[in-house]
Amino acid sequence: MSRQKMMTMMMSRRLARHGCTQWEEFMKPWELFNLIKSIKHEEYITSGDDVQWTIKVDDVGKVVRLIFEESCGNTDWKNNLNFPMKLYKKQESCIRAARGWGNAYKSCNDEIMQKIIFATEIAPDYQIHICGWSYGGAVALLAAEDFHYRTGKKASVYTFGAPKPLWGKKTREYVRSCVNEVKQYSHVNDCVPLMPPFPGYTRLSTDHIGGKRNFFKLFNPWKYHCIYGEESLYKE
C-alpha cells in the first residue's frame, strides 16, 4: 500500500469518528442532488431548532461536503413561513436575513462549525462544499458565510430549489464575497425558489434549468421541486 493511500485511509477514519462519512465519487449536479435525496433522515444529525445536517467526505475528488436536509417537520415549515426580515448578524457588514432560516441556523451554528472546521484541519488540502435542497439550500448560504467569518476560508455553495434567505443588495454582495463558486439551481417551474415573494429577498445566484417557464406549472411543486436529479435538465 502506498504512503498516500495509507494517509488517506487514516484521515478518513479520523473524520468518521467525528461524524463525517465517506463518499467516493466525483459529482455532477444531478448526481449531487441524487446523493442528497438518497441520504436517509436517520443519517442526518439533528441540532438546535430541528436542523438536520451531515458531512460527507469524497476522497477521490478531495472534497468535504456539509449537507443540509430539506424540510422534514412542522418546525421546518414554521421557519419556512417566518418571512419577516431581521438583523441576522452585526459585524463589519450587517447581514439581514429572513427570520425563520436565520434563527434556525443560529440555533446550531456552533456545533456545525466545530465539526466542519475540524474536517478542514484533518484534510487541509480538501475543498469545502456546502450544499442543500429546498430549506437546506437556504441554511447552506448562512453556513457558508459563517464558515468564512470564523476561518477566513471560502467554501463553494451548491443548492437546488432553494428559497431566498438573504435581504438586501449589501447583504448579498457581502455574502458573495465570502464564498468561492456558487451554483444555485432553480427549475423555471419550481415555485419554491420564488419564496419569500416580497421585494428585497435574494440569493447569491439563480442558475435556471428546465427550459421556458409555464405559469400554471408553478402550482405543481410536488413535481418540479423534486426533479433536480434528471440529467437532461442541465443540458437544455
pLDDT, tens digit, 9 for 90 and up, residues 211-222: 889 989 998 988
Give the structural domain span for 88: 17-235
pLDDT in tens, 170-179: 999 999 999 9
Whole-model pTM: value is: 0.86
| CB distance 191 to 219 below 8 Å | yes
Determine the angle formed by the axes of helices 109-122 and 135-151, rounding to 10 degrees.
Answer: 60
pLDDT in tens, 112-171: 999 999 999 988 999 999 999 999 999 999 999 999 999 999 999 999 999 999 999 999
**Does residue 3 sit within a domain?**
no
CATH of the domain at 203: 3.40.50.1820
Instruction: In whole angstroms, give the CA distance from residue 145 to residue 153.
Output: 10
Query: Long-range contacts: 76-80, Cβ < 8 Å, 24+?
Result: 76/50, 76/104, 76/135, 79/49, 79/103, 79/104, 79/135, 80/135, 80/163, 80/195
Q: How many CA atoms lie within 13 A of 20 on its CB side?
A: 27
**Does residue 65 sit within a domain?**
yes
**Does residue 160 sit within a domain?**
yes
Query: How many CB atoms neighbour CB 165 within 10 A?
Result: 29
pLDDT in tens, 63-100: 999 999 997 766 655 655 555 676 766 565 678 899 88
**Does residue 153 sit within a domain?**
yes
**Does residue 8 sit within a domain?**
no
Instruction: In whole angstroms, give the CA distance from residue 137 to residue 167.
Output: 15
**Does residue 4 sit within a domain?**
no
**Does residue 41 sit within a domain?**
yes
Q: Quick one: cell of 206?
A: 439563480
Q: How many domains does the chain have?
A: 1
